[in-house]
Amino acid sequence: MKEEMYVGNLSRDVTEALILELFSQIGPCKSCKMIVDTAGHDPYCFVEFYEHRHATATIAAMNGRKILGKEVKVNWATTPTSQKKDTSSHFHVFVGDLSPEITTDDIKAAFAPFGKISDCRVVKDMATGKSKGYGFVSFFNKWDAENAIQQMGGQWLGGRQIRTNWATRKPAPKTTNESNSKQLSFDEVLNQSSLSNCTVYCGGVTQGLTEQLMRQTFSPFGQIMEIRVFPEKGYSFVRFNSHEAAAHAIVSVNGTSIEGNIVKCYWGKETTDINTLSFAAQPYNQWGQWYSNTQQIGQYVPNGWQVPSYGVYGQAWDQQGYNVFSMLQPPCLQDSSNVCLTYLQMQMLLCIFLHFGIGRDKSV
């Protein structure tokens, strides 16, 4: 049984002797090994107890306690051997909306009360070394993961309320030819489109595409304002309340497996007129239908075509119930207040047309 504990976020003035003195108050310690990071990060150490019950008690007693002015992080130690262990069969929790200062130790400490953690990490940008604002926690037991998702969603960690959901698994490693495409970073995706664009295109879901599935997949990344799905075409559009949330979604979901389908995510098509589309279309004109920019607000029009409004005495014929044949009726029959002079003028024009052979085969 495991008796070794990880102690992190230590002050540089903390020594092995001080750690042993403090932790021995809980139970006899077998050893203490201090690790000093040459890259300039805070030191950490491993404390090993003789008995498992003493090691367990240290999490409740020491985690978050201040030692020389810094709140230390205490959790079960993860050995190098276990770090390389295959965790594909474990149960993975996505943790989103993380504050920039939140570290792997922070989310590990926050989720430790729910059960034994097999893996935990905050995802960082390889170029800048900064957090991308999300991470993953893996549990050995499904019940522990489910409980963590339910209990931690909306809780405050650092300066933000975090979002939790089941993690979307990455597909199997690609072949040499497939791996030539570059995986874009959060900053690169963020700058691909203007700040006003908050729409994500998600394509490649050939089976089982529903609004509920898209909401479940994308809700961890931010507040969703609107979702439109096109099951027959295998793609959907998800509009967030912010450009940053949409960027997080693109980076995280692109290339993952949803319902057994490897999906592609990128920005929806931008429009210069914010009133033209109620929803941004995707880049390759696959957006089949939208709300038109007309005075008939809210009327849904397939393929963007709007029925024209022809003025007949100041009122649209389609709004008054006129059909096309009513246009041939004399104005005096349409409105008794109009004089019949207009009707006589129309008759004269008709005679002229008939005289020149126009419309001989048509009946009035």
pLDDT tens figures, 6-46: 898 888 889 999 999 999 999 999 999 888 765 566 788 99
- Cα 345 to the center of its chain, rounded Å: 65
**What is the C-alpha to C-alpha distance for residues 163 and 155, in angstroms, rounded to an integer?**
8
Q: Are 115 and 147 in contact (CB under 8 A)?
A: yes
CATH topology of domain 4-77: Alpha-Beta Plaits (3.30.70)
In 3D space, the residue among 132, 124, 48, 65 whose CA is nearest the CA of residue 98 turns out to be 132
The residues facing 360 across adjacent strands are: none
| Cα–Cα distance, 327 to 351 (Å, whole number) | 18
State the average pLDDT over residues 72-80: 76
3-state secondary structure of 283: coil
- CA-CA distance, 143 to 119, in Å (whole number)? 16
Residue 17: its H or E element: helix 16-23
pLDDT one-digit tens code per residue, 95-121: 999 998 999 889 999 999 998 898 898
Task: Provide the pLDDT confidence category of residue 273 given band limits of 50, 70 and 90.
Answer: very low
The encoded tokens of residue 133 equal 């604002």
pLDDT in tens, 131-147: 888 999 999 888 899 99
- Position 95 scores a pLDDT of 93
Lowest-pLDDT range, 108-122, 164-178, 313-327, 343-357?
313-327
| Location of each CATH 3.30.70.330 domain in the chain | 4-77, 82-166, 183-307
Q: Which fold has domain 183-307?
A: Alpha-Beta Plaits (3.30.70)
The DSSP bridge partners found for residue 301 are 290
What's the CATH number for 82-166?
3.30.70.330
Of the candidates 35, 105, 21, the residue with the CA atom closest to the CA atom of residue 70: 105
CB 246 within 8 A of CB 197: yes
Please enumerate in sequence order all residues whose Cβ is within 8 A of that of 207, keeping only pairs 6 or more positions apart, or say none. Answer: 259, 260, 261
